[in-house]
Amino acid sequence: MSVEKVETLIVGGGQAGLAMSEHLSNCGEAHLILERHQIAQRWRSERWDSLVANGPAWHDRFPSLEFSNVGPDAFAPKEEVADYFVAYAKHITAPIRCGVEVMEVQKNVNRPGFRVETSKGVIEATNLVAATGPFQRPVIPPVIPDITGITQIHSNAYRNPDQLPEGAVLVIGAGSSGTQIADELLRAGRRVYLSVGPHDRPPRSYRGRDFVWWLGVLGKWDVEAATQGMEHVTISVSGARGGHTVDFRRLAGQGMMLVGRTESFKDGVVHFSPDLANNIEQGDANYLSVLNEADAYISRNGLNFPKEPDARIIDPDPLCMSDPVLELNLSKAGVTSIIWATGFALDYNWLKVDAFDKGGKPKHKRGISTEPGIYFLGLPWQTRRGSSFIWGVWHDAKYLADHISKQRMYLEYRTCAERTAAE
Ligand SMILES: Cc1cc2nc3c(=O)[nH]c(=O)nc-3n(C[C@H](O)[C@H](O)[C@H](O)COP(=O)(O)OP(=O)(O)OC[C@H]3O[C@@H](n4cnc5c(N)ncnc54)[C@H](O)[C@@H]3O)c2cc1C
């Protein structure tokens, strides 16, 4: 039986897979994308109903196509983001097969290329790009055991407030997901406890420009590695309700009970670290530092942007900062749900090649793995802060396509003598 052969196989038909396809096409490189579900599936089925993009539509898109139903300064609802990538696949005539899962990849023995077992048969590929996402497997730290009467879910399984049993909710993790979900639950009339760890919280906008613009002109999307000791600092931003700055002091003023990092659980009681005030102060310092850098940029470039002195007002410490709650008896507090907004891990179990360290992390340089012919795309911090976002993955894909194209040229080279002998 003949086996299908593909020059470059892209696994995953999300934004990363499509960006890769566009750049490979531009380089004239033959390729195929396999997607186990549908294009940009995670935007449809692994995110909550009211989610909108964190960045405005002029920024959170690929360069050659605008959103058709969302204004450039608006925040695209998640279904529009998914529809955008479906339209994008058509726009670039991406060679994609949906409903095909890659089950296992092995390196060929004593010859280049890879044997790829899929749910619809075997494919041989010279190169393989793993574009299966930066956020693959939800992570729930083993802190609180299963408790009767308490629903525990990860943020990727949260849809809307009505899905949860009546009662108070403890949301653990105050990055963009945790904060937006906690805010939505508070607005739906729930009693909400939000466990806040270290975070950055840039201003949604300042002096007439969205923070995505400021991070761009200040070179912060291009920062190549998280500062040492700051690897676990999450970023808290929101495009909800037209976009607003995440401000924990204001959330506390609206009735949200803020607590420090969740540390342990014993006899029905959750214990929190006494770090809430410090985390909020550090977040404020990060916020103010962006304003300072923005002001310096404006004066250095002589820009006539409107002044915004009110942006520097920091509300007084709420009671939960000055007199922090360090433990919470879940049943006494009426908590019936816990939402873990605690991030994701990578999962490359299907990729049986020598491209991982002992902890299962990809070994690579800018996405080019230690196993020749294997590439990664869309990893957090793959080349820079922006790598796992819509904006950044497009640029990383360009680099990989260029590398794949150059390698093919080398491998196709034959000396004159070899060519003559072959004729
Ligand atoms: C809640 C949330 C909000 C976000 N908001 C924004 C935002 O506003 N702006 C922004 O720029 N970024 C945002 N991101 C970050 C990032 O843009 C998304 O995570 C995005 O989905 C990543 O795209 P991707 O193509 O790299 O991976 P994914 O979207 O995860 O796509 C990978 C695809 O691979 C497929 N796949 C996996 N394994 C296999 C296999 N073995 N065989 C075949 N197919 C497979 C999956 O079905 C999936 O469709 C957000 C992330 C989250 C979690």
Task: Check if 178 has its Cβ closer than 6 Å to any atom of ligand 1.
Answer: no
Instruction: Give the DSSP H or E segment for 365.
Output: strand 364-365
Sign of CA dihedral 23, 26, 30, 35: positive
For atom 16 of ligand 1, the residue with the nearest CA is 389
What confidence score (pLDDT) does residue 233 get? Answer: 80
What confidence score (pLDDT) does residue 93 get? Answer: 98
What confidence score (pLDDT) does residue 132 get? Answer: 98
Environment class of 267 (CB within 10 Å of its CB; exposed 0-12, middle 13-18, buried 19+): exposed
DSSP 344: E
Is residue 1 over pLDDT 80? no
Task: Check if 59 has its Cβ closer than 6 Å to any atom of ligand 1.
Answer: no
* Residue 116 binned pLDDT confidence (cut-offs 50, 70, 90): very high
Task: Check if 13 has its Cβ closer than 6 Å to any atom of ligand 1.
Answer: yes
**Mean pLDDT taken over the chain:** 96
Instruction: Tell me the pTM.
Output: 0.96
Is residue 232 over pLDDT 80? no
Task: Check if 47 has its Cβ closer than 6 Å to any atom of ligand 1.
Answer: yes
Task: Check if 118 has its Cβ closer than 6 Å to any atom of ligand 1.
Answer: no
Token digits of residue 236: 């808290």
What confidence score (pLDDT) does residue 231 get? Answer: 66
Q: Residue 254 CA to chain centroid, in angstroms? A: 28
Token digits of residue 256: 């949200």
| Nearest atom of ligand 1 to the alpha carbon of 118 | 42
DSSP 157: G
What separation in Å is there between the alpha carbon of 46 and the centre of ligand 1?
9
Task: Check if 42 has its Cβ closer than 6 Å to any atom of ligand 1.
Answer: yes
**pLDDT, mean of residues 18-31:** 98
Q: Which residues lie below 8 Å from residue 411, measured CB to CB, with a gap of 6+?
A: 112
Is residue 230 over pLDDT 90? no
For atom 29 of ligand 1, the residue with the nearest CA is 14
Percent of the chain with pLDDT over 90: 96
Ligand 1 pocket test: pick from 9, 15, 128 the residue with the most ligand atoms within 8 Å of its Cβ: 15
Task: Check if 175 has its Cβ closer than 6 Å to any atom of ligand 1.
Answer: no
Task: Check if 338 has its Cβ closer than 6 Å to any atom of ligand 1.
Answer: no
For atom 27 of ligand 1, the residue with the nearest CA is 133
What separation in Å is there between the alpha carbon of 368 and the centre of ligand 1?
20
* Residue 148 binned pLDDT confidence (cut-offs 50, 70, 90): confident
Residue of 353, 401, 348 lying closest to 374 (CA atoms): 353
* Residue 2 binned pLDDT confidence (cut-offs 50, 70, 90): confident
How many residues appear in the chain? Answer: 423
Task: Check if 134 has its Cβ closer than 6 Å to any atom of ligand 1.
Answer: yes
Is residue 215 over pLDDT 80? yes
What separation in Å is there between the alpha carbon of 42 and the centre of ligand 1?
6
Q: What is the pLDDT of residues 254-271, one digit of tens each?
A: 999 999 999 999 999 999
What confidence score (pLDDT) does residue 226 get? Answer: 77
For atom 34 of ligand 1, the residue with the nearest CA is 12
**pLDDT, mean of residues 226-251:** 89
Task: Check if 37 has its Cβ closer than 6 Å to any atom of ligand 1.
Answer: yes
| Nearest atom of ligand 1 to the alpha carbon of 389 | 11
